[in-house]
Amino acid sequence: MPAGAVIMEPGNSAERFTGDWRTFKPVINQDKCTRCLRCWVFCPEPAISIVDRQYTSSSGRAWKNSVEINYDYCKGCGICVEECEPKAIDFIEEVK
């Protein structure tokens, strides 16, 4: 045990899963999402991932990437819901 509670391995916060803190869960509506990444900027965790998945919206717009939430780390704070301009994130009660 290092003296003075020094943590010797960097980046070890990934080992701590905070996803079980949620009572509400943000869910991205891929059809409404404009890929502006405001949620990515504001997420304090950060639990927003930009993933390599193509998506074509109902109006025919083709996106190369999608934005998804990493539920292993999302604490359910709702900041992304608040900040999303096109109102593309729903906040729904999580039933476990």
Partner 1 sequence: METIAKSIWKRLPLSSNYAVAYAARDSDVDEIAAYPITPQTTVVEKLSEFIANGELLAEMVHVESEHSAMSASIGASAAGARAFTATSSQGLELMHELLHIASGMRLPIVMSVAARALSAPLSIWGDYSDVMNTRDTSWITIIASSAQEVYDSIVQAYRIAESVMLPVMVAYDGFMMSHTYEPVFVSEKAGLFRDYIPRKGRVVLDTKKPVTMGAVANPDWYYETKYQQVKAMSDAYGLSVEADQTFSKLYGRGYGLVEEYNVDNSELVILTYGGIFGTVKQAVDEMREQGIPVGAARVRLFRPFPLNELRSLLLKSKAVAVLDRSFSNGLPVSGPLAVELKSMMNSYNINVPVYSYIVGLGQRTVTEADISKIASQALSSKVSNESIYWGVRE
Stretch that binds partner 1, among 3-11, 30-38, 59-67, 79-87 (CB under 8 A): 3-11
What's the residue count for the chain?
96
Site residues for partner 1, 6-45, by CB under 8 A, read: 6-8, 10
CA gap 84, 76 in Å, rounded: 15
Select 4 or 60, whichever has its Cβ closest to partner 1: 4
List 26's β-bridge partners, or say none.
91
Select 20 or 31, whichever has its Cβ closest to partner 1: 20
Residue 53: closest CA among 39, 33, 72, 38: 33
Instruction: Using CB under 8 A, list all residues that contact partner 1.
Output: 1-8, 10
